[in-house]
Amino acid sequence: MTKIRLAIADDHKIFRNGLKATLEDCADFDLVMEASNGKQLIAQLAATTPDVILMDIKMPEMDGIQTTTYVKQHFSHIKVLALSMFNEDKYIVDMMKAGASGYLLKNAEPEEIIEAVSTVFTKDYYFNEHLSITLIKQLAGNTQTGNAPQSLADFNEREIEVLKLVCQEYSNQEIADKICLSVRTVEGYRARLFEKTRSKNLVGLVIFAVKTGIISV
């Protein structure tokens, strides 16, 4: 089994060391990079690219939001899992808008961190209870995220079907099995959905689906 390649970006060395110990205890992970700020991380990406980055929000020189934006623009395949001491909706929403695939507090239990990394790698996102509540509050408040069109005129029936399944947390393989398509075909539909909704990640797709009535919360 191929190990999940990980990077840690956090300016607190003690926390980094504790997180490294947690991750290194998992045989499925391979820690390939660590950095104390966004600039250090980006400089190292020229030599090697991880599968998942655990990204602190508050860092000197280049913070997690700026770094996540850069990573998703230049290395779109890398998943970012936000780590923060701040349990505030603004930080969560800003990181998700920047392209993060999940959000964890730094006091999360080791088991949750391991689960989050594995889920982000296999399903492209990780939702926990607080993140879900934050998104629902944002939707209820009709907060705009991006410039996604609020019309279904440009979507065919199959795209809407795939979108519904994506929002129900099905993986590409599960969707392919469910509607009798190849995984590559589902990946193509998923890519078109991101393009048409102008979304950076699943959060954007969920918000679009709720606002257009495809799903309800």
145 with 138: CB under 8 angstroms?
Answer: yes
Report the distance separating Cα 195 and Cα 118, nearest Å: 26
Q: What is the tens place of the pLDDT at every residue in 105-158? A: 888 899 999 999 998 998 888 877 666 666 666 655 554 444 444 567 788 999
Range 193-211 average pLDDT:
79
- 108 CB neighbour count, 10 Å cutoff: 16
Nearest by Cα to 41 from 31, 53, 51: 53
Q: Is the pTM of this model over 0.75?
A: no
Range 200-213 average pLDDT:
76
